[in-house]
Copies of this chain bind each other. A is one copy, B any other.
Amino acid sequence: MNLTPSLDAHKQVLLRALDPRDSKTLEARLPEIRSADLAEILERLIEDEDRLDSAVALLACLPVGRQASVFGHLPFEAQDAMASRIEDAWLSRILDKMGSDERADLFKVLGDDRKEALLRRMARREREALKRLASYEEGTAGALMTADYVAIPMGLTVSRAMMRVRQTAPDAETVYQLYVVDEHGRLAGTMSLRQLMVARPQAIIDELMIHDVISIGVDAEQEEVARVVARYDLLALPVTDTDERLVGIVTHDDAMDVVESEATEDIHKGMSIGQLEGGVSRVPLWSLYRKRVIWLVLLVFGNLFSGAGIAHFEDTIAAQVTLVFFLPLLIGSGGNAGAQAATLMVRGMATGDVGIKDWSKLLGRELLVAGSLGLTMALAVAPIGVIRGGEAVALVVAISMICIVLFGSLLGMCLPFVLDRLGWDPATASAPLVTTLIDASGVVIYFSIATLVLMGT
């Protein structure tokens, strides 16, 4: 992450104050720095400058509530590194002050021995809640949610509900949306604090609440969670288990982080890069290599088909070496148009703008657009064909351009739908895969047309 100039200045002042310990400066400076920024300073200290000790010493200067907040903002690797230098009693105080979702996330980072030691220090109820939250699979609503919400039993009056809100306020992630549950813990309704504030104190909440609550199952994928939060402009989305019982909420800020990280994942997938755990500037080199090499090598073998196509037409090429001049241009153009078409579909499917049933309508549209694109590009390339090889070559190149762009675009457009149908991620239709497929087909299309026109006469 990139330190803004002011953060860098903060960092320098803090480090100087740390050794020899200048408590006055530390006490004056630390409260001024927001937790997200302080977390970034610690992260830099650990990962760029290898100063884990300074990072732990800085953390120790904070009140424990802020320690928890800063810890929650750290990436997993930094959490892991710092936790290894923090003794059990201290770490369990930090855990105690963290939100239940961040606590579960930190817990997943720790080794089994450490987990056991920390669990022993917790009350039974907390221990079980933590174990449950930490058990949900990464990438689901369960792993994203927090158990710190305000639940109100049915039948309460507005004034009693308000009292409940005040009591829960210090611990809940949000007190602005209340969830009403029946005697079995099932989600029965919801009410905003705003509605509660303007309601008659003696009114019963059952009569005021919205019964038709938007909620999501605990196993739902996190993309789906984010999509629902965004679509209905929610402050928080309640999460229910298979028995319709309320088990947590996903807050707007966590949903927003999902949108951001899912977009990054999709962008990387679009270039056949596997999912990175962390930013590109910090992920280990070995992991970066692995995430990139798999498809690159697979595509080397894919590209052999282009080679085989060329080998098949070696006579035509030997007779007209000029044809090779246009080869990169033609297959490159087809690949570009095809990658565009694939990307438009994959992103459309990810945002919910395009569904599988729009397929035929989109095919018709792509046919028109790609036809026009091919024609335009054929017109652009034809004069060069005349100059380099005469009219016959120009004709071959122009016709090939139209065919390759049209074929490439349709292939790029259809592939995500086909993959989706086969139960694969449509994003597997990455630009490198699409261009490799089009390269091979383009070779065959181009030299077939050339053989027909030039060698046939």
Across the A-B interface, the 10 shortest Cβ-Cβ residue pairs = A2-B355, A263-B263, A279-B353, A306-B328, A303-B329, A233-B253, A336-B432, A307-B325, A271-B343, A280-B344
A113 to chain B, nearest CB (A): 33
Contacting pair B340 A273 (CB below 8 A)? yes
A193 CB–B CB distance under 8 Å: yes
Chain A 286-327 interface 0/1 with B at a Cβ cutoff of 8 Å (1 = within): 001100110111011101101110110010011001101111
Contacting pair A267 B347 (CB below 8 A)? yes
Q: Knowing A165-B197, A233-B253, A297-B376 touch, does A344 contact B304 (C-beta < 8 A)?
A: no
- The stretch of A10-18, A136-144, A417-425, A435-443 in contact with B is A435-443
Contacting pair A333 B303 (CB below 8 A)? yes
Residues on B with beta carbons closer than 8 Å to the beta carbon of A347: 264, 267-268, 280
Residues on B with beta carbons closer than 8 Å to the beta carbon of A318: 318, 321
A51 to chain B, nearest CB (A): 17
Residues on B with beta carbons closer than 8 Å to the beta carbon of A373: 289, 292-293, 296
Q: Report how many copies the assembly holds.
A: 2
Contacting pair A369 B332 (CB below 8 A)? no
A41 CB–B CB distance under 8 Å: no
Contacting pair B351 A260 (CB below 8 A)? yes
Shortest Cβ distance from A443 into B: residue: B328
Contacting pair B288 A365 (CB below 8 A)? yes
Residues on B with beta carbons closer than 8 Å to the beta carbon of A232: 34, 36
Interface residues of A in 221-268 (CB under 8 A from B): 229-235, 252-253, 255-257, 259-260, 263-264, 266-268
Q: Is chain A's binding surface mostly helix, strand, loop or mixed?
A: helix
A253 to chain B, nearest CB (A): 4
Contacting pair A310 B292 (CB below 8 A)? no
Shortest Cβ distance from A338 into B: residue: B271
Contacting pair A280 B1 (CB below 8 A)? no
A212 CB–B CB distance under 8 Å: yes
- Cα(A281)–Cα(B361), bound, Å: 8
Contacting pair B329 A328 (CB below 8 A)? no
- Cα(A90)–Cα(B303), bound, Å: 62
- The stretch of A59-67, A180-188, A377-385 in contact with B is A377-385
A166 CB–B CB distance under 8 Å: yes
Q: Knowing A257-B230, A280-B345, A348-B281 touch, does A317 contact B306 (C-beta < 8 A)?
A: no
Q: Knowing A256-B255, A268-B344, A354-B279 touch, does A307 contact B326 (C-beta < 8 A)?
A: yes
Shortest Cβ distance from A335 into B: residue: B435
